[in-house]
Amino acid sequence: MKSLGNNDKMKKSILESLAVISVMVVYVAFGVQFIPILMLFIPLPFIILGVRNHIYNNIMGMVFTSIIIQFLMGNTYGTSMVLLFVPLSIVANYCLKYRKNSMESILISTAAFFLSFLLMIFLGQVVSDFNFSKQIESILTQSINAQIEAIKELGASTQEIATITEALEDQSRSILIRIPALLIAISFFTAYINVFIATFILRKMGHNYVPEQKFSTFKLPNNIVPGVGVMLLTAFFLNELKVQYHEALLMNITFLVGFIFIVQGLAVLDYLMVKFRIKPIFRFIILILNIFVFPISTLLFIIGVMDSIFDFRKLRMQRS
């Protein structure tokens, strides 16, 4: 009977793996091709597959999917998929399977995705002379040219066009300098959204041992404020000493500090909406809209800092 039970589990595991591989081949070949942002969710079904069965199912599922994608779309696509998403998928799978807390899961998964991003960029430069920074610069230049052409068609004066062009070029340079910080922010978002959705689906499927991930209880480490103070102070001294790349370092640290406290501010906002029993879909829409409104983002930053200091949600008390 025990042997029969093991055979049934193996059959279930194989069937689920084949189903995920089939769906993800179509997803990558068609969905991602037309809507590139869908690429961020590639690890999700493999994480769920690995937690439900075994981490080997996760790994083999991604490898076989990438091999099929290579045949269909070329080597670059398949290889990029393995390099970029397998580490995140494995790490998130491990964290959920072994019941790591929310903060550990997110930080470890973010680090895995960021490092694999750097590895892919490095190998791209070594193997095919692909320059990531130059590629981003080219995209930004094309965007600026398109915007300038649109402004010209509206009948703007030469002086106005010159002023707008200068502002757009300054913005472009600022983005290029902040690429490291932007990659960390993208890594955090990708890791969080995959872990969060995977947890939600797994618990709905009856895997209640998986730790629940609630954005409303997201909290930065208790020592984050003094840590940020030390980083900013170090960057300030490097700036005063005119150390090479001091300006880029200061801009990246400033961006990351703003980003992490805005995320905590959003978590506080979500906490309040949960208290007022606002439905999840409306909470999601409100959070997304708040991200793109600059004055609101400034307020969220302040709320995030204040919550880190005064613990409005009393999360420290709950965890202790």
Please list the pLDDT of the chain residue by residue as tens digits (320 residues).
444 467 778 888 899 999 999 999 998 888 777 888 888 899 999 999 999 999 999 999 998 998 888 888 776 766 777 778 999 999 999 999 888 877 788 889 999 999 998 888 888 777 776 777 778 888 888 888 888 888 888 887 888 888 888 888 888 888 888 888 889 999 999 999 999 999 999 999 998 888 888 888 888 887 887 888 887 787 777 666 666 667 788 888 888 888 999 999 999 999 999 999 998 888 888 888 887 776 678 889 999 999 988 888 888 766 55
Lookup result for tokens 């010209």? 152
Question: How is the chain split into domains, by residue range?
Answer: 1-127+182-213, 132-172, 219-320
Residue type, 257: V
pLDDT at 281: 85
Rounded CA-CA distance 29/95 in Å is: 29
The pLDDT value recorded for residue 163 is 87
CA-closest candidate to residue 188, choices 88, 70, 284: 88
**Cα gap 200→207, rounded to integer Å:** 10
pLDDT at 1: 43
pLDDT of residue 75: 63
Q: How far apart are CA 120 and CA 131, in angstroms?
A: 11
Per-residue tokens: 117? 């991003």
| Cβ-contact 264, 224 below 8 angstroms | no
Give the predicted TM-score (pTM) of the model.
0.84
CA 135 → CA 7, 132, 144, 167, 192, distances in Å? 50, 5, 14, 21, 26
Query: Top-level CATH class of 1-127+182-213?
Result: mainly alpha
| Residue in 48, 17, 13 with CA at minimum distance from that of residue 207 | 48
Q: Are 115 and 143 in contact (CB under 8 A)?
A: no
